[in-house]
Structures are given as structure tokens and as C-alpha cells.
Amino acid sequence: MISLLQSEWFKLRKSKFVFTAILLGPLITFFYALTLQPDKFGFEKIFLWEFLIAFTTLLYALHFLPLTTGILAGLICRYEHQNGGWKQLLAMPVTRNQVFLAKYTILILIALTIQLLYLLAIWTSGVLKEAEEPFPMMLLWKSIFGGWIATFPLLALQLWMSMLFKSFAAPFAVNVVFTLPAILAVNSEKFGPLYPWAQPFLMMYVSGDAENDIFFVPWEQVLTVVGGSFLIFFFGGLLYFRQKENI
Amino acid sequence: MEYIVETHNLTKRFGKEIAVSALNLKIPKGEVYGFLGPNGAGKSTTLRMLLGLMRPTAGSVRIFGRDLKKDRISILRNVGSLVESPSYYSHLTSYENLEAMRKILGSPKEKIDEVLELVHLSKAADKKVKGFSLGMKQRLGIAMALLNDPKLLILDEPTNGLDPSGIIEMRNLIKRLPKEKDMTVLISSHLLSEIDQVATYVGVISKGKLIFQDSIKAMRKKAQLKIRLKVSDANNAYRSLLAKGIKTDYQDNIIYLYEQSDEAVAAVVEILVDEGYSVYRVEEEHQSLEDIFLKMTAGGDDR
């Protein structure tokens, strides 16, 4: 299994697009953060950290994170779809479960990396803007970790779609179709908590009233919406891949 | 005889269409088994089932004496394959392609240089596969198949896209492997001439059915020159010859002689005349392997 992970990462890192895709969200966050002027919004500088986090989350968690994971999910199957890679891979001593799990694991590890780079982007921009100490580490960890968890079901569906479609564009289009309504969903009290694509934002958005929870949303929501959609998408994709005949 | 591959009533159905029908392949150890059949006869489907890429509708596969369904992983550890068009990652160099596989197989790194050398790709080791010719991709595919030192090598139309010198090289390589590396080789082709040059054992498939399976010698025997005798009361004439200790074949009122020397033919004719049979015709019937193959694959049109 470890060797399969190494092989997957080896193939992926040789692709030009991967690092661009990984850096895209954090870099845009960084430059966006630099342009933000808290006084224009009537904030005091003492809350600069909170201000930066709140404003960048909107852009990053709502759009760039889900879109980037979609691109990466597409990339991780792209090289198998081209030139008969699937049959080469599956004729080796590996099971389909292992292949699916290896690809999924690589994806969630990359998502974690992107989250950490986002953290770095916030910190660097804050320091450059001379934000006052202390850096709200606890708050941000919660946000980084929660956002990461929220990408699990998204990545599972994206992997499924990218295994299903031979073309790179089709799964990406599916992803965009689901991602765009998230901005409407987060504004809806009723629909927002139920919509998987809204979860990265909801779980990253720093809200004061959730001090006691581990994440910024109630546990029930994490378990049912994130956990539930994860189970459906993950096992849906896995079953599809196991049944796939025409390789 | 020890069989490396044995299938039992292996069948694959796609909807209503039967692609492979109750196949009983037997591939003896250490042979180069030529799997021969016209395009669309079910060769690739069979090979895919042997590799576990496709599930059989019915029947079973045993490789190295173990059930493929139960021991797929441990079996595949000792199988190398190139099925249909060569598979590769075009954004990687040939070395990197092999490295991506090596990581999974756990073979030593030196193995990569060794197999590249074997297929004469050492010079192109650091070139991206994107720019390769079909022949080079084919060689890379064979290098990939050899990376894990397989005990069973499965090659689907291995000379596809190779130039004449490449084809000869490939044939020599395939012939060498069983002796030098203790390998059993299964190669498929729709060209008899291809199989004829390398195979020691042949299986002919047509419309999903295995219509011939034996050593290439036995197949050649079928293709040999035959002497046809047309005589009066052929059935009794055949018996009389048999009584005199002369072995012949009898089919549709025609007697076929095994011995073909002038003396043997003359002796047979003499006996027949002595016994009072009229000899109408003594003819030579010539059949090439190609004729045999065509006759085999044209028949069985009963679906």
C-alpha cells in the first residue's frame, strides 16, 4: 500500500499542473489579504487577524478550495485514462480497493497541504501588514482542520467523477456546478448546513458563538452532513470502480 | 505435463453476445504458446480475463496451479503483460515509467536499466514517451512486462508497429526467454506467420471457441503434403491396406497415405491392383499452414 502511494505521488508530481493547482488558492489568498484595508470596513487594527481570516475565507473556502481539489482529482486519474494506464496499473499485483484508497489518500494529503499553505499565507500577510500579536493560533487550527475535514466528501465525489469520465472537462464541470451554488447556500439558514459544498466555508469561517465546539459548526452537522455525504460518495465511487469492466 | 495456465470452460458474455465460449486453454510450462485467431475472435477478452481485468461470466482460470479468483495478487506478482496497445504515462520518460511501476512491484532499481537494455531503449531512457514512435512504445511496453522477472509473460500482438528489424529482434527475444529465464510465454496474434516463427505450442480461437490446441509440430503435420488415392470400394481397400500393415487415413471415400516416398506409393498401388481394386486417381494434395488456419477459422459458423 505504501509503495502504491509512492508510485501515485511519483506520477502526479511529474505533472506540471499539480504545483500550480496546489499554490493557486493560497497565493491568491495571500495577495487578496495584502489588498484588504480593515479601516475601510470600520475595523480596528487590533482585530486584523480576525478580519483577514473572515474575508479571505469567503474567497478561499467557498471557491478556490473546492475547485482546486476538483482539478487535483481530475489529474490523479488523467494519466490512467490516457493511453491505457488503467489496465497497466490493474494488471499489477494490486487490488482495486488499494488503488482507489491510494488515490484518495494522496488527494486528502494534498488538501491538507493546501490548507497549511493557506495558514502560511494568512500569517505572512498579517505579519507584512504588521498585525498585532498574538497570532490566533487556536482559532486558525480549528479553521484549517475543519476545512480539511469538509473536503473529504467533496474529494470522494470528485474522485468518483474523474474515474467515471474519461475527459478532464466533464468531472470539472460537475464540480463547478456543485460549487457555485455554495455561495447561495451559505446565506441560507435552512439549506446551508445541509449542503456539502458549503461545509468547507462553514467549517472554516470563524464564528464567535462556537467556542465550545471542536469546529465552528455543531457536531451533529459534521457527523451527518460531512460524514454522511462522505460515506455515500466514498463507497459509491469505490463500488463503481470495483465493478468497472471496460478498462 | 505441468500446465502454467489452465482455464476451465472460461466464458465471457457481453449482453447477448458471447465473446468467449467455454475455453479450455492448457499452456504447458516452458513453451511459447501462440494464441492465434482472426481479429475479434476473443483473444484480448481472454487475455484480460487471465489478468483479472475482466470477470468471467462462467468458468475458472488457474495460473501456476492456483485459482486466479482467490490468489490474484500472488499470481500477478509473477506475471508480466502487454495487452492490446502499449500503456504508458506520456508525461514521464521511459525510465520514469518503469520507476512508477517498480515502486509497486518492489523490484531492484538495477532492473530498470536491465530491461531497457534488453529492448534497446537505453538511449531513450530520459526521453519523454510523448515523442516516441509506436515501435518504441511497444518496446517500452515489453520492458514493463519484463520488469518483475515474470514466470509467465503475456504479450498481445507484440510485433505490432515494429519495423522489420524490430520484429526479428522481438522474435529472437521471445524465443530466448523460456530457455534463459525459465519463462512461459503466451503471445497472441492474428497472423499465423508471426506465431509460426516463435511458438512451440498453438491454440487457435475462432468466434470465441478454441478450435485447435496442440504443439506446432502437430499443426505442421496437418499441413503436410498428402497423397490422395481414389479407388473403387474405398472402404474395403482401406481395410486391405491395414491388414497388410500399411497405415492410411480414410475419409469420404478417399484414402490418404502417410508414407510419401515414390517406393511407398508404388507399393500401395501394387497391392491395391493385386487385390482387384481399380485405382482411379493418385494425387498430391498440398496444404499450407495458412490453408489449415483459414479452414479452421472459416468453419464453426454455426452461431
Supply the DSSP string of chain B, one letter for each residue: --EEEEEEEEEEEETTEEEEEEE--EEETT-EEEEE--TTSSHHHHHHHHTTSS--SEEEEEETTEEHHHHHHHHHTTEEEE-SSPP--TTSBHHHHHHHHHHHHT--THHHHHHHHHTT-GGGTTSBGGG--HHHHHHHHHHHHHTT--SEEEEESTTTT--HHHHHHHHHHHHHHHHHH--EEEEEES-HHHHHHH-SEEEEEETTEEEEEEEHHHHHHHHS-EEEEEETTHHHHHHHHHHTT--EEEETTEEEES--SHHHHHHHHHHHHHTT--EEEEEEE---HHHHHHHHHHS----
CA distance B117 to chain A (A): 21
Whether A18 is in a domain gets the answer yes
Q: How confident is the model at residue B78 (pLDDT cuts 50, 70, 90)?
A: very high
Q: What does the buried/exposed string (b/e) look like for A101-125 if buried means 16 or more CB atoms within 10 Å of the residue's CB?
A: bbbbebbbebbeebbebbbebbbeb
Which of B91, B99, B104 is facing A92, going by the closest CB pair? B104
Over range B185-198, report the average pLDDT: 87
Q: Would you state the cell numbers that stand for residue B213, as one nine-digit string?
A: 490446441
Report, at the CATH architecture level, how domain B3-220 is classified: 3-Layer(aba) Sandwich (3.40)
Over range B7-12, report the average pLDDT: 93
Q: Which of A9, A78, A83, A244 to mutate to test the interface with B (most CBs of B within 10 A)?
A: A83
Q: Which residues pair with B201 in a beta bridge?
A: B33, B215
User: Exposed, middle or buried by CB within 10 Å (0-12, 13-18, 19+), for A41?
Assistant: exposed
CA distance B259 to chain A (A): 49
Whether A228 is in a domain gets the answer yes
> To the nearest 10°, the Cα dihedral for A97, A103, A104, A109?
140
CB contact under 8 A, B89 and A3: no
Q: What is the pLDDT of residue B223?
A: 67
* Number of domains within chain A: 1
CA distance B292 to chain A (A): 34
Quick: pLDDT tens for B116-171: 988 888 888 888 888 888 888 888 999 999 999 999 999 998 887 788 888 888 88
Whether A246 is in a domain gets the answer no
> What residues in A contact B94, CB-CB < 8 Å?
none
Q: How confident is the model at residue B6 (pLDDT cuts 50, 70, 90)?
A: very high
Question: What is the residue range of A16's domain?
Answer: 2-241
Using CA coordinates, name the residue in chain B closest to A102: B104
CB contact under 8 A, A10 and B103: yes
Q: What is the pLDDT of residue A223?
A: 80
- Rg over alpha carbons for chain B, rounded to the nearest Å, is 24
Q: Is A79 on the interface with B (CB under 8 A)?
A: yes
Q: Is A91 on the interface with B (CB under 8 A)?
A: yes
Show me where the domains of chain B are located.
3-220, 225-286
Nearest partner of B169 among B157, B180, B158, judged by Cα = B158
Interface size A-B, in CB pairs within 8 Å, comes to: 82
Q: How many angstroms separate the CA atoms of B271 and B278, rounded?
A: 11
CA distance B36 to chain A (A): 22
Which of B74, B90, B99 is facing A10, going by the closest CB pair? B99
Q: Which of A6, A92, A103 to mutate to test the interface with B (most CBs of B within 10 A)?
A: A92
Quick: pLDDT tens for B239-292: 888 888 888 888 888 888 877 788 888 888 888 898 888 899 888 876 666 777
Q: Is A11 on the interface with B (CB under 8 A)?
A: yes
- Positive or negative, the Cα torsion across B3, B170, B208, B77? positive
Residues B136, B166 contacting (CB under 8 angstroms): no
As a whole-number percent, the residues of chain A with pLDDT over 70 amount to 92
The matching CATH number, chosen from 2.60.40, 3.30.70, 1.10.357, 3.30.160, for B225-286 is 3.30.70
Residues B277, B237 contacting (CB under 8 angstroms): yes
CA distance B48 to chain A (A): 9
Q: How many angstroms separate the CA atoms of B44 and A228, rounded?
A: 41
Q: How many CB atoms lie within 10 A of CB B129?
A: 20
Which of B51, B74, B99 is facing A91, going by the closest CB pair? B51
Quick: pLDDT tens for A188-233: 777 777 888 888 888 887 765 555 566 777 777 778 888 888 999 9
Q: What is the pLDDT of residue B302?
A: 41
CA distance B101 to chain A (A): 7
Which of B74, B76, B103 is facing A91, going by the closest CB pair? B76
